[in-house]
A and B are shown apart, each in its own frame.
Chain A
């Protein structure tokens, strides 16, 4: 049973560019959350998608946007990249959050 799949695994972008990260949730899961994890820190919540709608958003600027598709897969878009956006971006899926989340291995984004 495939878990959460994220692509690409690594990405290098230049300041000001735009990036799209992709996530396929674990089979049977309908809720997808995105997190940003800086080096040496815990993950920070960006937003969560359920039924193709953004259900909750963390303290991230509007440069961060997302989408969920009918098959529950999701995309994270970041516009006007800043050096500070360099981080590991994690996608997590669940069917019921009280039972915990399954995380992907993440996309390592480096902005130069």
Chain B
């Protein structure tokens, strides 16, 4: 059973459109991280959120951590082909040192 559920699993949109990826759990996390992974490469950290209700913006990407610290979302505005990749959310619970990853959302932005 996956601790973090991501939806949707796949997303294909046209350049210029907006998209949102969701990451949900029944567990509380002390921090939640978003990574992007391209084929043949390791995940690259996009952002870390630690406070319930926190919103962080990174250019066209907006990340939100739920008030109860059980869920998060990633919103991309005016998507570009360079945004194509596998988006992974990962959380650390309490005193856990490990990161638990979601299964990922594969995003394809068509030119």
A interface with B by C-beta (< 8 Å): 4, 31, 33, 35, 40-45, 48, 50, 55-56, 58, 90, 92, 97-106
A98 touching B97, Cβ below 8 Å:
no
Select from chain B the residue with minimum beta-carbon distance to A6: B42
Q: Complex Cα distance A13/B96, Å?
A: 33
Of the stretches B44-52, B54-62, B63-71, B74-82, the one at the interface is B44-52
Please determine whether B99 and A45 come into contact, CB atoms closer than 8 angstroms.
Answer: yes
| Contact yes or no, B98 A45, CB < 8 A | yes
CB-CB under 8 A from A44, the residues of chain B are 101
B45: chain A residues within 8 A (beta carbon): 100-103
Contact A4-B42, Cβ < 8 Å, known A42-B101, A45-B99: yes
Residues of the A chain whose Cβ atoms lie less than 8 Å from the Cβ of B88: 42-43
Give the number of residues in B that approach A within 8 Å (Cβ atoms): 26
- Closest-CB distance, B26 to chain A (whole angstroms): 17
Cross-chain contact A105 with B98 (CB below 8 angstroms)? no
Taking Cβ atoms with an 8 Å cutoff, the residues of B that contact A are: 2, 4, 30-31, 33, 35, 40-45, 48, 50, 88, 90, 92, 96-104
A56 touches B42 (CB 8 A): no
A86 to chain B, nearest CB (A): 15
Given contacts A33-B97, A42-B104, A97-B97, 18 further A-B contacts (CB under 8 A): A33-B99, A35-B101, A40-B104, A41-B104, A42-B88, A43-B90, A43-B99, A43-B101, A56-B97, A56-B98, A97-B92, A97-B99, A98-B48, A100-B33, A101-B33, A101-B99, A103-B35, A106-B41
Q: Which of B35, B50, B104 contacts A98 (CB 8 A)?
A: B50
Of B92, B98, B103, which is within 8 A of A42 by CB? B103
Report the minimum CB–CB distance from A36 to chain B (whole Å).
Answer: 11
Of all chain A residues, the one with the shortest Cβ separation from B42 is A103
